[in-house]
Chains A and B, each alone.
Chain A
Amino acid sequence: MEFLSLLDVTFFLLTALGALVGIIFGAIPGMTATMAVAVCLPLTYALGLNHGLALLLGLYVGGISGGMVPAVLLNIPGTPSSITTTFDGYPMARKGEGEKALKVCVIASVVGGLISAAVLFFFAPILADFSIKFSYIEKFLIILLALSVIASLSSNMLVGIFSGVIGIWLSLIGDYSISDGGNGKTRLMFDFMEPYLFEGFSLLPVLIGIFGISTVLLEAEKGVKSDLNDERVKIGKGGGFSFGIFHGRFTNMIRSSFIGTFVGMLPGVGGSAASVLAYTQEKNLARDSSEMGKGAPQGLIASESANNALTGGALIPLLSLGIPGDSTTAVLIGAFTLQGIQVGPLFIPENVDTWYIMMTALIFANFVMFFLMFFAIKHIAKVVMVPKHILYPIIVMMCVVGAYAINYGIMFDVWTLLIFGVLGYLVQKVGLEVAPLIIGFILGSQAEVYFVKSLESYGTFSIFFTKSPIAVVLWLLILASVVFSILMSLKNRAKQRQADIS
């Protein structure tokens, strides 16, 4: 219990501050939890590890939760994961039950968040313990598995794989680092780039560019229209909410939380998949789903408990394998690196105190989120009114600070923002996928080391299949994810054909 001595008032204040700022970010349409974490990163540069983590985890939990506010009040999902919250939330708000709907969401969120935190607490150390024995070969296969899972869950597998490979390719620019056992020579670039790109693109400017600058560009293209006008925000009167709404809904809440946690664990799969899956499950399994889509609390419960359960779920592969579970945890990887921490199988056993501190921050953030939103929802709902022409310049400014300060003042890192901001914009415009690209970028250089070093020591490709029973299991899982993807696309095609006929 040594970690208790590391907890101080600042720690709890920072978590609460993070949750509040996160909620505000989540509540503003077009801003996501990922952006909240990316934009607030510079604040953590000056903080120590524990305080930095407290702020970031607060932001993460708050950001995911905040998305419910515009989803209910404006029919616009504040974060992609609150898409299904709009289905029932907005009809309720139109009936004047906005506050009731939001309170249902808040309770579902906190339950989802806490259940996933519990799963994280018990499951991550086991997974880490198991993966500690992995050699380079199994590690390489894990990365291959992660990428194939992301690709198979993309809307189109070929496009998903291609996006992931582009990410890997971009990560290889620069030198084959001597510290990783490489020969220190550069590749995939011209000589004049060497002064800037010897070590390749820095991770955080790339992420901040893709999630911050791209978003601004996509909005600018649409003309930065304000989608708010006073009449549309109807929070309703306080009445109508009672805990009785949850009567008979516990199975739904627990099931959706576990669905959210599980989807969160799959690398690179965004929150929308979790809430959509939980929502359709509720629709299929509920005794009476006739009201769903017209303003039924059960739909809100399914959607919100699943999307908050992502938080714990996405941290599982991050902390046990070093593979981010979603785009927000991808930014967290950058924050860890900054603090000199390498996430992976050794993280939990070697940093037990930090691990407990993270759990404390995560759980505390959920409670703060609950109290802030349950009692102050009326005031928080007003932030959806903040005009974008005030916010976006500030976002760009914060992106600059984050990128410039990351390596203690390198101007090229700021230009990286623009390069990857434009790249992220183009990628999304031509229909490629950002999530696999990011995961590919993060894991690419490790994949190289594992792959090349394995071949150097064993001298044959067959080692990837014969090294250990685990390797065989991993190949089977990779195969399963590919087969799953093909089956899904066949099913979709059949469905589309049926729709065309009728």
Chain B
Amino acid sequence: MESGLSDLLSVSVDFQTSHLYFPTIITWIMAGLFVAILVTKVIPFLAAVKRGERTLPILGEPMDAFRFFGTLALIAAYFYLMAVVGDMFPYTGYGFLFVSIPFVLLMSLLYAHEWTKKALIVICINAIVAPSLVWYILAKLFKITLP
């Protein structure tokens, strides 16, 4: 009996495949937990959605789609263009500077609820000053690598 148990617990890890040993265990645990949550949480939840007692997250909730997807699109464009412009002026951080200014401007305009004259002036000043200041302090004074 004793030896049977220790046989069961003994294990040898092959070095060649050792990089897969722990990930395999974790993947299985993750899959097991996923099924457990599916059965105990998700299925009852979906049933409640069907009865109209609960709403689906994201899809069933009211959301400001314009601002949300606008944010995603702006961020993606920001990251992409930063690298493109950055490659034109390597090692200067201009990619960061030149792309950040329109980004900050557009995102501020996207988020501002009232486009009053005063608000627009503040937004414009901020869009020019903030990236320039960050660029000057980090890239020029501190010599930090920027795109």
Contact = CB atoms under 8 A, between A and B. Distances in A.
Interface stretch (A110-118, A162-170, A231-239, A321-329): A162-170
A479 interface: no
Contacts of B12: 459
A452 B18 contact: yes
Contacts of A133: none
Contacts of A431: 57
A223 B67 contact: yes
Most buried by B among A158, A187, A390: A390
Contacts of B126: 390, 394
B22 A220 contact: no
Contact of A460 (B11, B22, B119): B11
A481 to B, nearest CB: 17
A411 B78 CA distance: 12
Interface centre among A389, A393, A408 (most CB of B within 10 A): A393
Given A221-B63, A389-B112, A169 B9 contact: no
Contacts of B128: none
B96 interface: yes
A187 B67 contact: no
Interface in B2-49: 6, 9-13, 15-16, 18-23, 26-27, 29-30, 33-34, 36-37, 40-41
Interface string A411-440: 100110110011000100111000000000
A220 B67 contact: yes
Interface in A41-61: 42-43, 45-46
B113 interface: yes
A190 to B, nearest CB: 14
A394 B78 CA distance: 13
A396 B78 contact: yes
Interface string A266-281: 0000000000000000
B111 A220 contact: yes
- Dominant SS among interface residues on chain B: helix
A400 B21 contact: no
Interface string A376-415: 0000000000011110111011101100110011010011
A341 interface: no
A401 B144 contact: yes
Given A217-B68, A461-B11, A405 B146 contact: yes
A460 B107 contact: no
Contacts, number: 187
A162 B19 contact: no
Contacts of A176: 18-19
A168 B22 CA distance: 10
A456 interface: yes
Contacts of B57: 429-431
B53 to A, nearest CB: 14
Contacts of B143: 46
A448 B13 CA distance: 13
A389 B29 contact: no
A45 B144 contact: yes
A397 B16 contact: no
Given A388-B111, A409-B147, A165 B82 contact: no
A213 interface: yes
A397 B15 contact: no
A11 B111 CA distance: 38
Nearest to B76: A418
Interface in B58-79: 58, 63-64, 67-68, 70-72, 75-76, 78-79
A497 interface: no
Interface stretch (A178-186, A301-309, A359-367): A178-186
B79 to A, nearest CB: 5
Contact of A459 (B10, B75, B145): B10
Contacts of B40: 158
B96 A400 contact: yes
A415 to B, nearest CB: 6
Contacts of A426: 58
Given A224-B111, A415-B79, A182 B19 contact: yes
Contacts of A408: 145
Contacts of A186: 19
A187 B19 contact: yes
Contacts of B33: 158, 161-162, 165
A225 B33 CA distance: 37
A400 B8 CA distance: 51
A400 B104 contact: no
B38 to A, nearest CB: 11
A188 B23 contact: yes
A168 B26 contact: yes
Interface string B116-129: 00010011001100
Given A187-B19, A411-B147, A461 B68 contact: no
8 interchain residue pairs of minimum CB distance:
A176-B19, A46-B142, A389-B111, A223-B64, A393-B107, A393-B104, A220-B71, A409-B145
20 contacts: A45-B144, A162-B30, A162-B33, A175-B19, A182-B18, A221-B64, A389-B107, A389-B108, A396-B75, A397-B100, A400-B96, A404-B145, A452-B13, A452-B21, A452-B22, A455-B21, A456-B18, A459-B11, A460-B11, A461-B9
Interface of A: 42-43, 45-46, 156, 158-159, 161-162, 165-166, 168-169, 172, 175-176, 182-188, 213, 216-217, 220-226, 387-390, 392-394, 396-398, 400-401, 404-405, 408-409, 411, 414-415, 417-418, 421-422, 426, 429-431, 444, 447-448, 451-452, 455-456, 459-462
Interface of B: 6, 9-13, 15-16, 18-23, 26-27, 29-30, 33-34, 36-37, 40-41, 57-58, 63-64, 67-68, 70-72, 75-76, 78-79, 82-83, 96, 100, 103-104, 107-113, 119, 122-123, 126-127, 130-131, 134, 138, 141-147
